[in-house]
Amino acid sequence: MSAPHKRLAIAHKLPPIVLKEIYDLRFDEKDRAAKDAIWRELGRFFQRYIKPDARVIDIACDAGYFIRNIKARERWATDIRSVEDHLPRDVRFVHASGLELANVLTHDYFDLAFFSNYLEHLPSTEAVLEQLRVAHTLLRPGGQVLILQPNIRLVGGAYWDFIDHQTALTEKSLAEAAHMAGFRTKQIIARFLPYTTKSRLPQGPAFVRAYLAFPPAWLLFGKQTLYVGEKPSVE
């Protein structure tokens, strides 16, 4: 086990090999193909936050569903697992804990940092705050953080249906943590996406495209929150 993996096991309390077993059990090839189709549509939606000349980093990228489906001048991805085989060759992969990135990447460099379904896996609210501070450090002044996050107020007890969920967040606690980390809130969509891609809702590209284009549907089915924050240009 490499040194980053050792430190990561402490930070997350689940070693990378266990995380791999969890995800292999949770998502089979059919599930991954369905996620790919969904994320192609989500990538088109999230592109509105990304300028063509942006430097974008996907922190805790999993199989790179986000970073593979957006366009940017520079695309970076990080994870505690070796997932570079899932990524296009132009994506720069950093094999490290998200909590350690300030030690290995250039500060004040990125235009956008993205998290998807990640912060709930951290072991404490202190770790969530530290991760947001790390993102703040990596972003240039005026850069944005984009967070897609299950909302325990909307999900309820099903939040704990996944063994690796450790920290509960609502849209209010997420915004509070981001503010404490130095971000200025630009947008919060409390009800955005359904809780999981394994739901019974139709998941074909046409349905996902129609869902994203019809915000009233978000009020009915949305249980994940979308948060957009900005690192102020003047600290």
Taking the domains of the chain in order of start, what are their residue ranges?
A: 3-230
The arithmetic mean of pLDDT across residues 42-71, rounded, is 97
pLDDT value of position 30 = 63
pLDDT at 164: 87
At residue 205, what are phi and psi to the nearest 5 degrees? -55, -40
Q: Partners of 184 in the beta sheet?
A: 230
Residue 206 has pLDDT above 60, yes or no: yes
User: What pLDDT is stored for residue 2 in this prediction?
Assistant: 34
Mean pLDDT in residue range 27-44: 79
Beta-bridge partner residues of 146? 114, 228
The stretches of the chain forming alpha helices (DSSP H) are 3-12, 16-26, 29-46, 125-138, 152-155, 171-180, 205-212, 215-221
Rounded to whole angstroms, what are the CA distances from 187 to 12, 23, 60, 171, 231? 29, 31, 22, 11, 13
pLDDT at position 8 over 80: no
For residue 141, count other CB atoms closer than 10 A to its CB.
Answer: 11
13-17, 27-31, 84-88, 135-139, range with greatest mean pLDDT: 135-139
Q: How many residues does the chain have?
A: 235
**What's the mean pLDDT when you consider all of the chain?**
88
* pLDDT (mean) for 128-143: 98
pLDDT value of residue 98: 97
pLDDT of 4? 34
Question: Which whole number is the average pLDDT over 103-112?
Answer: 98
Interatomic CA distance for residues 190 and 198, integer angstroms: 20
- The predicted model gives 73-86 an average pLDDT of 95
- Of 3.50.50.60, 3.30.70.270, 3.10.180.10, 3.40.50.150, the CATH number of 3-230 is 3.40.50.150
Distance CA 206, CA 64 (A): 22
pTM: 0.86
- Residue 64's closest CA among 90, 45, 102? 90
pLDDT beyond 50 at 25 = no
